[in-house]
């Protein structure tokens, strides 16, 4: 019964995120897991693993759409692959929480030490999820509370630090029920996290320097047709037609892979877009695959965004999607099923230290699709940027919850760095997000159209943009080291 409850808690945890946005359920799920861990017969490894299975079975369910609908795998195979994926994610990114907790916990249940160890273990594993095996930084608790009082910490401590506050306050609240002796400590923690966040949100880190018009093109090209050779020209024509009435905008954005041919094949089109953009003083950003010819008839593919007209430069995607843009164990898996041979699944990553796109109003820190989930990469690029921009093709995930989670992550990057975010997608969610992570306007999903609006260039920087996660990581290291030394002292 206890393990079934852990599974349910993991599942309802996901309901705290977009598109459901029932953020108190994140608080309840985390607190519930901590309560289970305090029981006399609790098995921390099994409990956290089962919690993780519930979390990812619901939260990453959108992967099934990619494998079955667009990878053409039969339901039984797609379902089996998703099960393996969920079990792996739970093993990598929740079971270690239980291992750390079991290793460093205090023998007395409900203790303050256990609250701190649980918090440190959770956030340490969340941090690991941002880089281990290319990372899967999804469903971090800080995202769920972004528009609450606790979200005021995001420009200061980022999503990881804000998530630490959520976990800390949830565990402390539960511990107060079991151990009333230190109720004042729990009260201080709750006040520091929630009321403190509300107070910090009143601080002004950045100011508007200038405002510019923008047009985000949403082509709504069916994924089953998008990469067909005969569809390449109609794809282009759709985007050209949609853009026709919007060359008066300061910024015009086409989404990821709007052009499905290589630059060498469409140089005439690129020249036309460049000339039109210069004539109308428009900064044009276009998603297009890139081909580099190497000696010996070898090739390299990259997923890129290029600047035309008043814009210039090229950005190549850094964080590639496993199986979507490269195939792990390629010699074994390539060709087994159609999903392992998707278009552009032999891409190579761009350089970590590449330059931002240059626009007439300043630099644009770019993230292509999935890589907007990496806070440290975006922070590094945003340090010199006037605005943030992400182009994506969430068509892979159909009508699932995936695109909404992806949108919420992009909103957090805007709030962390105090910069407006332009998000241009093939079929949604195309949106304009302000520097506080609030959506100012968006297009309906699954409709072709153009989102017109304004974007503000901000002056100044948030504390997080200067220091990143280092304060949070320093506290984590100290907390874990303190408990490790205390445990060794108890055993000696």
String of DSSP letters for 374-435: -HHHHHHHHTTEEEEEEEE-GGGGTTSSHHHHHHHHHHHHHHHHT--EEEEESSS--EEE-T
Separation CA 73–CA 28 (nearest Å): 37
* Catalytic residue from among 55, 226, 363, 369: 369
For tokens 């609790």, the residue is 42
Question: Is 314 annotated as catalytic?
Answer: no
Pairing mode of beta strands 251-253, 283-294: parallel
| Rounded Cα–Cα distance for residues 327 and 334 (Å) | 7
Which residues sit opposite 439 in a β-bridge?
433
Q: Which residue has the tokens 């997923």?
A: 303
At 415, give phi and psi (nearest 5°). Answer: -70, -35
Phi/psi at 390 (5° precision) = -135, 135
Q: How is residue 355 annotated by DSSP? A: P
In terms of Cα–Cα distance, which of 75, 168, 46, 86 is closest to 119?
A: 168
Q: What residues form DSSP beta bridges with 364?
A: 357, 387
Q: How far apart (Å, rounded) are the C-alpha atoms in residues 20 and 401?
A: 9
The catalytically annotated residue of 256, 325, 371, 436 is 256
Q: What is the Cα–Cα distance from 139 to 114, expressed in whole angstroms?
A: 23
Count of CB atoms situated within 10 Å of the CB of 132: 14
For residue 62, the surrounding DSSP H or E stretch is none
Q: What distance in Å separates the CA atoms of residue 423 and residue 369, rounded to the nearest whole number?
A: 9
Catalytic-labelled residue, pool 55, 226, 317, 325: 317
Asked if 369 is an active-site residue, the reply is yes
Residues 6+ apart with CB under 8 A from 486: 113
Give 312's strand partners: 358
Q: Catalytic: 256?
A: yes
Catalytic residue numbers? 256, 317, 369
């Amino acid at each position: 019964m206890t393990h079934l409850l852990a599974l349910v808690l993991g599942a309802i945890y996901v309901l705290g995120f977009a598109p459901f946005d029932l953020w108190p359920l994140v608080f309840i799920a985390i607190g519930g897991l901590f309560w289970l861990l305090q029981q006399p017969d609790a098995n921390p490894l099994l409990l956290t693993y089962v919690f993780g299975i519930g979390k990812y079975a619901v939260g990453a369910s959108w992967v099934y759409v990619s494998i079955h609908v667009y990878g053409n795998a039969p339901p039984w195979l797609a379902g089996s692959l998703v099960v393996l994926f969920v079990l792996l994610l739970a093993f990598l990114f929740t079971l270690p929480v239980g291992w750390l907790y079991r290793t460093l916990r205090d023998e007395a249940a409900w203790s303050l030490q256990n609250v701190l160890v649980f918090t440190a273990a959770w956030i340490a594993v969340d941090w690991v999820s941002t880089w281990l095996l290319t990372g899967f930084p999804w469903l971090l608790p800080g995202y769920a509370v972004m528009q609450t009082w606790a979200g005021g910490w995001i420009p200061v401590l980022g999503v990881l630090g804000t998530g630490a506050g959520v976990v800390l306050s949830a565990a402390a609240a539960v511990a107060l029920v079991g151990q009333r002796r230190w109720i004042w400590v729990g009260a201080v923690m709750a006040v520091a996290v929630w009321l403190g966040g509300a107070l910090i949100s009143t601080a002004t880190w950045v100011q508007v320097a200038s405002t510019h018009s923008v047009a985000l093109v949403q082509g709504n090209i069916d994924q089953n047709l998008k990469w067909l050779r005969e569809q390449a020209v109609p794809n282009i024509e759709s985007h050209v037609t949609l853009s026709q009435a919007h060359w008066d905008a300061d910024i015009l954005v086409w989404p990821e892979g709007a052009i499905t041919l290589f630059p060498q094949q469409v140089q005439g089109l690129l020249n036309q877009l460049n000339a039109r953009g210069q004539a109308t003083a428009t900064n044009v950003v276009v998603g297009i695959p890139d081909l580099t010819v190497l000696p010996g008839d070898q090739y390299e593919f990259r997923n890129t965004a290029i600047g035309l007209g008043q814009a210039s430069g090229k950005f190549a995607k850094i964080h590639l999607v496993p199986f979507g843009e490269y195939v792990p164990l390629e010699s074994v898996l390539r060709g087994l099923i159609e999903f392992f041979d998707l278009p552009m699944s032999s891409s190579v990553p761009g350089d970590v230290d590449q330059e931002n796109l240059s626009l007439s109003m300043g630099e644009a820190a770019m993230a292509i699709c999935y890589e907007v989930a990496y806070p440290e990469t975006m922070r590094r690029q945003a340090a010199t940027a006037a605005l943030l921009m992400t182009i994506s093709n969430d068509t892979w995930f159909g009508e699932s919850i995936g695109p909404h989670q992806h949108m919420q992550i992009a909103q957090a990057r805007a709030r962390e760095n105090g910069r407006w975010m332009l998000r241009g997608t093939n079929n949604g969610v195309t949106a304009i997000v302000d520097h506080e992570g609030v959506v100012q306007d968006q297009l309906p999903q699954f409709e072709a159209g153009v989102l017109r609006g304004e974007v503000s260039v901000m002056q100044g920087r948030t504390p997080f943009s200067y220091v990143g996660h280092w304060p949070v990581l320093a506290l984590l290291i100290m907390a874990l080291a303190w408990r490790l030394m205390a445990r060794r002292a108890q055993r000696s």
